[in-house]
Homo-oligomer: A and B are copies of this chain.
Amino acid sequence: MPGTYAGKLLRINLSTGDIKVEEIPEEYLRKYIGGRGLASYYLYKEIDPKIDPLSPENKIIFATGPLSGTAAPTGGRYMVVTKGPLTGTIASSNSGGFFGAELKHAGYDMLIVEGKSEKPVYIYINDDTVEIRDASHLWGKDTHYTTDKLREEVGIKNAKVACIGPAGENLVKFAAVINDKHRAAGRTGVGAVMGSKKLKAIIVKGSKRPKAASDEFMHVIREKTDTLRKDSITGEGLPKLGTKVLDNIINQNGLYPTRNFQTGVFEKTHEVSGEALVEKGYLIKNRACYACPIACGRVTKLPTGLEGEGPEYETAWAFGADCGVSDLNAITEANFLANELGLDTISTGATIACAMELYERGILPKEDLQNGPELLFGNSEAIVYYTKQIAYREGLGDKLAEGSYRFAESYGHPEYSMSVKKQEMPAYDPRGAQGHGLEYATSNRGGCHVRGYMISPEILGVPEKLDPQSLEGKAEWVKIFQDLTAVIDAEGLCLFTSFALGADDYRDMLAAATGWDITTEELMKVGERIWNLERMFNLEAGIDPKDDTLPKRMLEEPMPDGPNKGAVVKLDELLPKYYEVRGWTKDGIPTEGKIKELGLEELKK
């Protein structure tokens, strides 16, 4: 087995109770690397993309990469890959913390969970000892209680737990998998898939650290870590202010989505920014994930004494500016709740924001609130209240739990859902960054900023500064960013490393870890392969290429004020160019030639 791979996958069928360990052929490893790549390959090969995501036929894969669990900077990440209930696309949600590294240390590159249990269960993994155990006593419990209780039960204080909260159990379409209490595989509703299988949690303890093939590995790792340390974003901005280093930057650039994307400037950003989090005394300390030199995590405390982690930039925006709320207290409380109940904070906040617009426009009638607080922009009480309602599917929460698209559609106005392929867009108004708009429209898991983060060149100027309103070369940039992101997700690293590292760096680390004589070109080809594989899955799942679009507001309503006043996303110009750059037909279908070039023929059904 090459270097830092375990070379094995663990397969657990919850319908039959079967537990199997399988070898992973080196051929697949080299072709898909691991993590998002390898897991997507297995998923596509093993399930029919047309199935109902919440049926027993769906599978859910927890996958590490070759750098997971090593000393590589940020090597603590893992991927949850499944067919997602929110979007109906392939879903791959990434998370940090310590769970992924521990799974690798237990000796598995991946865990594939199949079928459905009759009663609630959890999976216990302690190196070679693997058991399916009853979790009836944990059903209904939050993620923090579940984590503590499981550790106590198995008697391993620092065992790592990934689990769902009530939201996942109640099949909320944007329920998250929460690991290490505060880290989330947040998006696309992967938590609901666990819930549909009655799988409450996975607890892991491992004792085997992977060993690199090359003696140069530690040296290469040091070099890349050093680069991260010296970089102004990964060495300074993120350690100092966390992801919330972005609030003021994005707001000043006029693409900080406010009140359900009605504008791109929030007048109260200074009250909720990363700086404010420090100045107002919420921040206790930083927290790093496994092997991470950046340590962007924030341990925070409310004036009431409640402790937790976050809010991150996206979270504070979703519960904040997007809902017109500037009460850092309420935002942080909603964040803590989302972690404990197991919800994706972006979709939770953005769905509430959508409901607020519908309510203010008189489309959502007051009686539907069932005596809940009024859904008015700026009502901080509402964000905490409805977050809880969603997780438990109580009152209006039951409808909100379907996500903003289905919610708005049920009132006859899907155009007020700020989503792509039914998943809510994150904290960047694409009217302020054309390339980022193209990225949202073409993301293989719906509205998402971490499938090709064009904000980096268009706003932050990394690796170089592009004019955010220019269309020139953007299709090419998006392709490269999408492919490189797939590589990073496959290797088991954090996307944040890409602020400081480039494709050659990811090649260096992979080569030293595996002993492979791999070129940067081959590596980027793997990224392209993963991207096309996901596309093929989605097409077979019935996702129409016409869904490569954005909410009407982004395309037709000019930004009303701020630096981007008057702008809309020129998707009609960007998209054909993108299809061309991708080597797809003008209708957005990968050509036979492209599929063959990437060696994906075997997957086509």
Contact = CB atoms under 8 A, between A and B. Distances in A.
Given A208-B211, A209-B210, A210-B209, A219 B105 contact: no
A50 B221 CA distance: 47
A151 to B, nearest CB: 13
A214 to B, nearest CB: 8
Given A226-B229, A229-B229, A207 B218 contact: no
Contacts of A288: 218-219, 222
Given A105-B211, A210-B209, A225-B225, A218 B291 contact: yes
Contacts of A295: 219
A98 interface: yes
A55 interface: no
What copy number does this chain have within its complex?
Answer: 2
A290 interface: yes
A293 interface: yes
Contact of A215 (B215, B290, B293): B290
A158 interface: yes
Nearest to A180: B215
Contacts of A293: 222, 226
Contacts of A208: 208-209, 211
A455 interface: no
A71 B290 contact: no
Contacts of A229: 226, 229
Contacts of A211: 105, 206-209
A51 to B, nearest CB: 38
Interface string A300-328: 00000000000000000000000000000
Interface in A331-381: none
Interface string A150-171: 0000000010000000000000
Given A210-B209, A211-B105, A211-B209, A290 B218 contact: yes
Nearest to A288: B219
Interface string A187-227: 00000000000000000001111110111001101100110
B291 A215 contact: no
A211 B127 CA distance: 13
A98 B219 CA distance: 12
Given A208-B208, A210-B209, A229-B226, A158 B218 contact: no
A172 to B, nearest CB: 30
Contacts of A290: 215, 218
5 contacts: A71-B221, A206-B211, A209-B210, A222-B293, A225-B225
